Amino acid sequence: MSPPEAMLWEKLRGGATGAKFRRQHPVGPYVVDFYCREAGLVIEIDGEVHDRADRPQRDETRLRFLREQGYRVVRIAARRVMADVDAVTDAIATLVATPPPACGWSPPRAGEDIAPLHARSPSPSVLGEDLEG
């Protein structure tokens, strides 16, 4: 694990969100950083490499796959974890406590455009998924 992943894992495995998380969990052809089964939530920590070469397109394909499988996906900038791991943990706890139907989340429809994972959303997310700060 990278240093930001290790920092966040200490909080997640310690129960700071009130839910059980797994790390390096396989989902189809991918391995996600953190997964919470009870919330259907995938947490990905993105370092600078996610802005380089073909990585944004690969990340978009991965996001589309995960959402089509019914997962809520949250991508968090590594620098945000390093700056304030407690605030990131609190935001994740809020997502865990908010069931998908209550917060308005639904998987994308076939053919729906999805913003690249490395870019900020054009508008604030209902879920607070744009945790890059």
- Most confident option among 43-47, 80-84, 117-121: 80-84
Q: Is residue 110 part of a domain?
A: no
- Lowest average pLDDT, out of 11-20, 22-31, 83-92, 101-110, goes to 101-110
- Distance between CA atoms of residues 51 and 39, nearest Å: 28
For residue 114, being part of any structural domain is answered with no
Among 42-46, 87-91, 129-133, which stretch is predicted with the lowest mean pLDDT?
A: 129-133
130, part of any domain: no
pLDDT averaged over the chain?
Answer: 77
Q: Please state, in angstroms and rounded to a whole number, the distance separating the CA atoms of residues 78 and 13.
A: 18
Q: What is the pLDDT of residue 56?
A: 77
Give percent of the chain above pLDDT 90: 41
In a domain, 63, yes or no: yes
**Residues 62-86: tens digit of each pLDDT:** 899 999 888 999 999 999 999 999 9
Angstrom distance (rounded) from CA 74 to CA 131: 8
Report the CATH number that the domain containing residue 35 is assigned in CATH: 3.40.960.10
Does any domain span residue 115? Answer: no
Q: Is 86 inside a domain boundary?
A: yes
**Domains contained in the chain, number:** 1
Residue 95 included in any domain: yes
Range of the domain at 45: 3-103
